[in-house]
Structure 1
Amino acid sequence: MDEVSLVHILLANLTLLAGACLQGVAGYGIGTFSAPLLFLISPLFVPAPLVLNAVLLTVFMLFRYHESLQIREVRFAIGGGALGTVFAGLTLLILSPKGFELIFGVLILTGVLLSIGGLRPRLNARNSVLAGVASTYMGTITAVGGPPIALIYQNEKGPLVRANMSAFFLVASFFSVAALFASGYLGTRELNLFALTFPGVLGGFWLSGKLVHRLPVEGLRPVILGIAAVAGAAALARGLLTLQL
């Protein structure tokens, strides 16, 4: 790979290991934690290589928590996700590389604000559809689709959250892969980067099985969101700077 160095690959794997571990424990996190850091390591790692890694992780998650899955509750979010994918694909078709950096930073910060905004929407059909649209739109462009869908599951029990959100993320990730391919953001280079970084996801998922009942997720939440906010602000500043050059 000419565009990234061995150091970049190692840092990306460590970032994905941490993000996958968080998602294995809390039900989401690989996007919120990993995407902004990967962007700062190299923009080439997002969105497609990270989305492909998210597909792999959600397959493992569903296998682990399939007994808690309630597909009737997640079908509305999946329907909204299909619509969000169309919007995201159209956005990517008209974005320039400089514009991508700008919207990436904006959407990362939007995800952080949604996570800390204190919103507590009910888990119902309407909110599920809206969350599905927002989550898949954000997830396709930035690989950070967790915050909108997490809002409607914040009052539910752990196994249900992990199972239903994994089911949604799996379908939404396939939607996102289709949109990225159609818009030219998924090709041989992105597949190669995925092949070089998926070991981090495997390690993080394995580690989450050891820590799922020990890791203080709520205590780590401010740290995770703080990292995402700083990295998102840096991406936004980078996008604004490149627009001026």
Structure 2
Amino acid sequence: MFDLSVAQLVLANLAIIAGACLQGVAGYGIGTLSAPLLFLISPVLLPAPLVLNATLLTILMLIRNRGALEIQQVRFAIGGGFVGMILAGITLVLISPKGFELVFGILILAGVALSVGGLKPRLNARNSAVAGAASTYMGTITAVGGPPIALIYQNEKGPLVRANMSAFFLVASFFSLTALALSGYLGIRELGLFAATFPGVLIGFLLSGKLVNRMPFEGLRPIILGIAAVAGTAALVRGLMSL
């Protein structure tokens, strides 16, 4: 089915359950955790099928956390996201399918570097716009858009983080889907893969409601980043070997 076996689809749903649960708790994570795992299962699961799943998840999270939303802060990140969408669309049009793995690997490793780099930018208009552009660019190509925007919210409280990042990710996801559709990376196969994997999002979201105050996100962070680094390196090597 869609070039995947039943076992691969089961593994893909498990990977999405883990990522959706993590994002439901921490405000981001479905890309950082699920995308590298999905790449290792099969590259056809990225980026559009996961972006579609992430869009569904952000809608659910925004409904859950709507009371903490501060839209004034989000609008600058959304403006930057529009720029990121244009740049990502140009990149996807210019690169070949073989070159996609190379770019994927570079951006995944860049996301890991941002996450462990110790940067603590202030939450202001300029930084929000830059983070919004970087997140949308990375999220469109790799489905991993969390690290840049997470940097500027790392010192904020949980409900605000989950609400504001969900609002940004919702708009950014639509930007990403627009760029993917126009560049030929979103079609019938990708919609079919989304239909086969969206139960993972629903299950992960429901689990996160029970674990939101119990999951030790900081304790899991090294494991998550380690998985991302392995997948990013694998993609980079495959991309270099195909040149």
CA shift for structure 1 position 24: 0.2
Once the two structures are superposed, the pairs formed by residues 59-78 of structure 1 within 5 Å of their partners are 59-78=59-78
The runs of at least 4 consecutive aligned structure 1 residues that moved more than 4 Å come to none
Give the distance between the partners of 1:126 and 1:2, measured in 2 at CA: 42
Give the distance between the partners of 1:93 and 1:35, measured in 2 at CA: 21
Partner of 1:197: 197
CA shift for structure 1 position 38: 0.5
Q: Check the 8 A contact 2:134/2:148 in 1, yes or no.
A: yes
Post-superposition Cα deviations, 1:58-116, rounded to whole Å, max 9, x if no partner, equal: 00000100000000001000000000000000000011011000000000000000000
Residue 46 in structure 1 maps to residue 46 in structure 2: yes
Letter aligned with residue 235 of structure 2: A
Partner of 2:227: 227
Q: Check the 8 A contact 1:35/1:50 in 2, yes or no.
A: yes
CA shift for structure 1 position 2: 4.5
Partner of 1:122: 122
Give the distance between the partners of 2:2 and 2:233, measured in 1 at CA: 28
Partner of 2:27: 27
> The residue matched to 1:127 in structure 2 has which SS?
helix
Residue 163 in structure 1 maps to residue 163 in structure 2: yes
Residues matched between the structures, number: 243
Partner of 1:86: 86
Letter aligned with residue 146 of structure 1: G
Runs of 5+ unmatched residues, structure 1: none
Give the distance between the partners of 1:122 and 1:12, measured in 2 at CA: 36
Post-superposition Cα deviations, 1:99-155, rounded to whole Å, max 9, x if no partner, equal: 000000000000000000000000000000000010000000000000000000001
CA shift for structure 1 position 40: 1.3
Give the distance between the partners of 1:193 and 1:185, measured in 2 at CA: 13
Give the distance between the partners of 1:56 and 1:2, measured in 2 at CA: 21
Residue 216 in structure 1 maps to residue 203 in structure 2: no
CA shift for structure 1 position 240: 1.1
CA shift for structure 1 position 163: 0.3
CA shift for structure 1 position 184: 0.2
Partner of 2:112: 112
Letter aligned with residue 114 of structure 1: L
> The residue matched to 2:161 in structure 1 has which SS?
helix
Q: Which range moved further: 229-238 or 81-90?
A: 229-238
Give the distance between the partners of 1:106 and 1:213, measured in 2 at CA: 34
Q: Check the 8 A contact 2:2/2:192 in 1, yes or no.
A: no
Q: Check the 8 A contact 1:36/1:235 in 2, yes or no.
A: no
Q: TM-score, normalised by structure 1?
A: 0.98
CA shift for structure 1 position 241: 1.4
Post-superposition Cα deviations, 1:202-230, rounded to whole Å, max 9, x if no partner, equal: 11000000100111111111111111111
Give the distance between the partners of 2:173 and 2:148, measured in 1 at CA: 15
Partner of 1:185: 185
Partner of 1:11: 11
Letter aligned with residue 195 of structure 1: A
Q: TM-score, normalised by structure 2?
A: 0.99
CA shift for structure 1 position 239: 1.0
Runs of 5+ unmatched residues, structure 2: none
CA shift for structure 1 position 8: 1.0
Q: Check the 8 A contact 2:87/2:137 in 1, yes or no.
A: yes
The alignment yields a C-alpha RMSD, in angstroms, of 0.6
Give the distance between the partners of 1:211 and 1:227, measured in 2 at CA: 22
> The residue matched to 1:185 in structure 2 has which SS?
coil
